[in-house]
Structures are given as C-alpha cells and as structure tokens.
Structure 1
Amino acid sequence: MNHVSVYHVDAFTREPFAGNPAGVIPEAGTLTLHQMQKIANELNLPESAFLMPSDHPEADFRIRYFSPSVEIDFCGHATVGSAWLLATERGWLEKGSRIVFETNVGLIPVQLMMEDGQLQRVEMTQIRPSVKEIDVDSEEVARLVGITLADLDDRYPMKLASTGNRHLLVPVRTRQAIDAAQPLLASLAEMNKEHGITTTHLFSWDAPEGYDLYTRDFAPAIGIAEDPVTGAANGALAGYLALEELLPAGKVTELVIGQGHAIGRPGKLYVTVDRSGEEPVIRVAGEAHLTIAGQMRG
C-alpha cells in the first residue's frame, strides 16, 4: 500500500459534523482485506466503504464495508456516502444517474436524484426485507438497552428484521425514553453475538416535528457503541412495518425518519415502502456532505 485516497463523508445530512460519518476509499482494488481492516481501524469511523472493480455484469463497483473491528455485509450510510462522492467528486454524473454496487448481500442499485442540474439525494433500493421471531425476554432487552419495561411499546412486536444485516427492533413508547437510554454495552454485545444480531435498533412513532419515526441504534457487537444514523437498520425497520402489516397494503408509503439527535449528530432518512407488488420494496434516500479529503500513506 502506497498513497491511498481517503474521504470522510457525513451521510444523511447536508451539514458537516452531523449525520453518520463514513470513510470512503474509491480506489481499493489493490488493497488486501487485511489492509482494508487496518485502514477502517485507523479511520475509526462507524463504517468505511472500499470500492473496487466488479466482475458482475450488472454492477459498476464491488463494495466492501468494515467497522473498526470487523467486515460487515451491508452498510446503508456508507453506500449513500460512496454514491454521493462518486457523483460529486469523481465525475459519475457524466456517465449516468444510476450506480449499481455489488455487495456481500447482493446488488444494491442507487439512483442519483437531480433537480435543476444539482444532486439532491441518492436513493438505494435494498434487498428484499425479512422478519424473524426471536426468543428473548422483553424485560432483559429493556435492561440491556437502558430503558424500563414500561418504556417498551407493547403495541408492536419485538422482532429481528433484515435488508442485508440482522437488526433487533425494539419498539419504544416515547422519544424521551429513547434519548435517555443508557445501554449496557458489554452485555448487549454478548447478547447480540449470541443471536447473530448486527445492531439493536430502538424506534418510536413519537417523533419530532417533521419526522414520522424516531430511532436510535447500538452496535457494540461490531465495535460501534452507537451508530448515529443507520441506513441499513432503518431499511430493515421499514421492511418490518410492511411485513407486519403496519403499513397500508397495495400502496406506496413515504416515511421520514430522524436519528442521531441524542448524540448531537442529527440526520434525516427518506424511506419509501412500496407495497404495490407481491413483495415490499424498500428504498432509502438521503443527502451527504464531503467533510474531509486526503491521502493515507502506508
């Protein structure tokens, strides 16, 4: 490894130092997996995305994601950050308005949403959602995430959901309870590893003005105490809402989800849940801001 271009992109926001920071390495084709993990650890961001050539006939890039400690099969905010970087800094808009990433979970197409010649948002279509029962004690989960049993919203089931990674969805009655949560990170990490859970995702319909849902995400099992604004987990949440019949059948529902406010990195996700076909289709869109550009020297 000689000089490697590295970018720090704040995703799901237009403001620097808000949203979810991702490392993006757009020319990673010569890097080994060991080097990628070392770079992700050095950047010490929630996730870093490494782009390389793809052999898939329908893909524009192969993309791999790493937290500071492990490789992750899919990361939403790093996908948004990568697409935004390619469009705004790497000349992709001259080639078209669509980028297809080959990930460990399948192809993720991203649409570049333009208005008056300016990039407004990027929108990724996630893989088919799924939900699964989980045999856990609700009181124990509440204890691990640092809320009370009374804070849980028993109108909604606690389940595992996925659009690439497995997330434990924890329904909470109020935004205040989510903000006040003080997770027992070491114990939560043990429970997540036991069940193959990537993150534990708290959600509430008690959202601030301008949002439909409010969420918070803890991921100690993959080396991230708290993921500020989570494209993968909120996509899984949208799939859960569709598959649990909590959104209207036969229609397209638009949701605005807020996350990151509790830790001073507010972000906004624009989520489309399309139930007009046989299977729900989940699309997650957002903005981004390129905050740092530089080189890593090995």
Structure 2
Amino acid sequence: MSAPVAQAAIAPAAPAPVPAAAAPGPRPGMLVWEPAEGAARRGTVVLLPGRGESPAVYQRFGRRLAADGYGVHVLALGPEPAPAEVAAAFAAVAGQAPAPVVLAGSDTGALRALAAAREAGARPDGLVLAALPLTDDTPPPGDWEEELAARTSCPAHRGVLTADPAFGRGRFADRVPDALLAPALNPAAAEAAAPVAAGPLPVLVLHGAADPVAPPQAVREFAAGLPAAVLVLVEDGRHDVLNDATHRSVAAQLVQWLERLRGGPDLPRLLTVEEPAR
C-alpha cells in the first residue's frame, strides 16, 4: 500500500533563550516547553506522540525548540483519539499561542494530525509529519532489543525509552487503523481537504532513510503528491526521527522550516547552500 497521495483540500531580536523547564499544560498529561521568560516567542508546535510514546520522551526535543524561540506542547490524548478530539485539543492551544502554530505528529500521531486537518476542521498554519507509517505489511520488531534498534541508534534516547514507566513496549504490533491509513493513501482524499486562505497547507515531512518500521519509499510518494511539501530524509535514520542520533540536525531542519513559515505559507526561501564543484 504505497500509492501517492495529494494534499488534502486542506523589534530587535531578544537574546537567545535558555531552554525552559517542562510544565503540565491545561490538559491532563500534556507537557509544555516555552522559551525563557522575556525571550521572543517565534511560534508554536503542537505534537502528537506515536505508538507506545508518552509526552515525556520528547523532553530533549521540547527543550531544543524552546531554545530557538518555539513553544512545544506535547499532547496526551490516549492511544486512539478521534480526529475531532485532536482538532479540539489543537484549537485550545492555538487560541492562546504565538503564531505560526503548527500541528505535528510522529508515527500514528502524524496520521492523526493529518486526519484532524483534513476531516475535523483543524486549522494549523502548517503540518509536520514525522515517521509516517504508510504501509500495513511491515513485520513488527520481535523483542525489546529489536524494538530499540528499530526506533533509534541514539544511546541517550534508548535510555529514555527504557526508563520511562509510561512507555508502551511492543506497540508496533498494533495495526495502523484503516481509518487513518486508507485516507492517507487515497489521492482522491485531496478533494476533501480544507484549504488555507493563502493556498495549500505547508507540510514538512521528516523520515529516516533506514526506517525499518515505515519504509521510506511510500513516504517519498506521499510527499511527491503534496503541493506544498518539503521532504527531509535522514541518512541512516531510524523510526523515532525526532529523537534519533541526528536529533540536532533534524531539529535544525524543523527550525529552518518554521522560520520560512513565518514568512508566509509559500515558504519563501531564506538560505541557498552551494557546494562548489570539485
């Protein structure tokens, strides 16, 4: 199941902030990281975890983006929130958060973010879709060591997952719900997408090039069908792409995309990197 999908008809700078501490948000279990007091707020990321994950596994990610001026709200909505529940939780944050406000997700959280924007009226300024599981025929890891290897090559993140009492081991054996997977793989779903005022919804797709849980070819095809997508493939990256060994580089790519989004939904280019021919 890897057919392509089209986009759903969906003052002087403050000093560099110090990473903020995590604090529970208004919804039970949600964790929030904000830039340091007095620092400029440049935007907001609302994130849905994936299979097995709790908000706590995103502490490093939240601190990193907060250090660059972006607030991070990691939602805790239970294992199978409906699109309308995701949309309502996003709206509750977006109504009082600095713009641009993007809806992000990892693994099935990415599919739920997509469904909330397509089907439930969520109105983010952009989507960040990480580790999209766009196939339903990949065998799950056999034991905990195999799951760790599939998720990340980062020793620190492996330690976080192992020590987290709220982490659900073996959840990759859970089948991706057809209600999430089928619409993502159906190009005709674009006709049901909610447009944004200035055009197609900007989308950043982040994926590990060596992801054994969600093979990247389906993700390439998915991104190619989106009219306003940027695809970032991480060399030798595993499934937990936001928390893998290259987490700093991935966070930097995300911040660069967010900075472009601040310029408008057409994502004006800010940097051109050229390597002279040798």
Do they superpose with TM above 0.5? no
TM-score by length of 1: 0.28
- Higher strand fraction (1 or 2): 1
Decide which structure has greater helix share: 2
